[in-house]
Structure 1
Amino acid sequence: MLELVGGALWAMLPAYVPNNAAVLAGGGRPIDGGRELGGRRLLGDGKTWRGTAVGTAVGVALAMLLNYVTPATEGVLGIVLPTFPPLAALGLALGAMLGDIGASFLKRRSGRERGASFPGLDQLDFVVGALLLALLLAPDWTLETFSLARVAVVLVVTPLLHVVTNVIAYAIGVKNEPW
């Protein structure tokens, strides 16, 4: 059980951190440049080039750090953990950012403003983006690393982690809403 849950969470770490890093580094030019579609912003001010770049870079850097500490961590935990080829790391990190950007687009189309809650989409948008781009860029690694059981763990645990990290970010003042 530890190998299943631990391996699933370890494999997703490069996708879990980019959006948090983007919030901390945010600001700058919005990706949509203020453009609208149907009287609503395409994405909104919360999706910036700087946040996307920093979030992606932090996710890739974390994957490389995890590669470095994997042998020692495996020794401590007594389980086998995945390592990250560069394209898999990029797919997970950039895919997480693109999934979140796609969710912002859908939120604007549904009439929701920046920061508005969209249950389900808010918790899993980045997971879908990360897994899809990783599958596109590193298909063999993704299929080997993300068994159906690991995907199931990710789909169950991620919404819980999402709620906890957002409440913490709200409490320390880096998010305006606790969701």
Structure 2
Amino acid sequence: MDAVATVATALWAMLPAYVPNNAAVLFGGGPPIDGGRTMGGRRLLGDGKTWRGTAAGWLAGVGVGLLLRELRDPVSDALGVALPTLPLAAALALPLGAMLGDIGASFLKRRTGRERGAPFPGVDQLDFVVGALLLGAVAAPSWFFETFTLPVLAVVLVITPVLHVITNAIAYVLGLKSEPW
């Protein structure tokens, strides 16, 4: 697989996982998942993790995954790259894993004394990737291991933090986030 195909595969396969957190910011709000509960005097997750945001993020990611299933052939032809076919299990699992990874990172942030919105370098950029990849591997193992070769995983791990910083900066400038990270 050449460099262009590797990058295209990485972005294509991860797109259902890239969308959910942005959708959660746009459509979130409402009751927090933790219901205000605490552990050791600190919130379990905080007000930023809501049922509505989690559901909206997951649904947006699933919608993208279903769209990718339909667009694969024409986009592959246009790019001259054989993009992976996204199985339904992966279209459902990748965005759910992304949301669960983000929730897990929020739990870790609270346990380490970080407040909502405080930076947690590395974790902030890759939490959702770890969740998406783990759940994707469980839900669609043959597709996962065929698609996420070591070069593709390397691209995901390098490009995701860059995309994360760019999208967060845009959301901050647009007033959708109160901090640029």
TM range (shorter): over 0.9
Q: CA deviation at 1:21?
A: 0.3
Unmatched segments (≥5 aa) in structure 2: none
Distance across 2 between alignment mates of 1:82 and 1:52: 26
Give 1:86 deviation, angstroms. 1.3
- Shift in Å, 1:85: 1.2
What is the SS of the residue equivalent to 1:53?
helix
Aligned residue in 2 for 1:177: 179
Shift of 1:69: 1.1
Per the TM alignment, residue 132 of structure 1 is displaced from its structure 2 partner at its CA by 0.2
Q: What is the identity, as a one-letter code, of the residue corresponding to 2:132? A: A
TM-score by length of 2: 0.98
Q: Structure 1 unaligned runs (5+)? A: none
Q: Which residue of 1 aligns with 2:153?
A: 151
Alignment: residue pair count: 179
TM-score, scaled to structure 1: 0.99
Aligned to 1:35: 37
The one-letter amino acid paired with 1:16 is Y
Q: Partners of 1:158 and 1:133 in 2: how far apart?
A: 18
- Which residue is 1:83 aligned to? 85
Task: Report what 2:170 is aligned to.
Answer: 168
The code of the aligned residue for 1:7 comes to: T
Map 1:118-157 onto structure 2 (within 5 A). 118-157=120-159
State the match for 2:67 in structure 1.
Answer: 65
| Shift in Å, 1:108 | 0.2
Deviation at 1:136, TM superposition (A): 1.0
SS in 1 for 2:47: coil
Q: 4+ residue stretches of structure 1 with deviation over 2 A?
A: none
Q: What CA deviation, in whole Å up to 9, does each residue of 1:28-82 have, x standing for no partner?
A: 1100000000000000000001111110011011011011111111111100101
For 1:101-120, list aligned pairs within 5 A: 101-120=103-122
Q: Measure the CA separation in 2 of the matches of 1:117 and 1:72.
A: 40
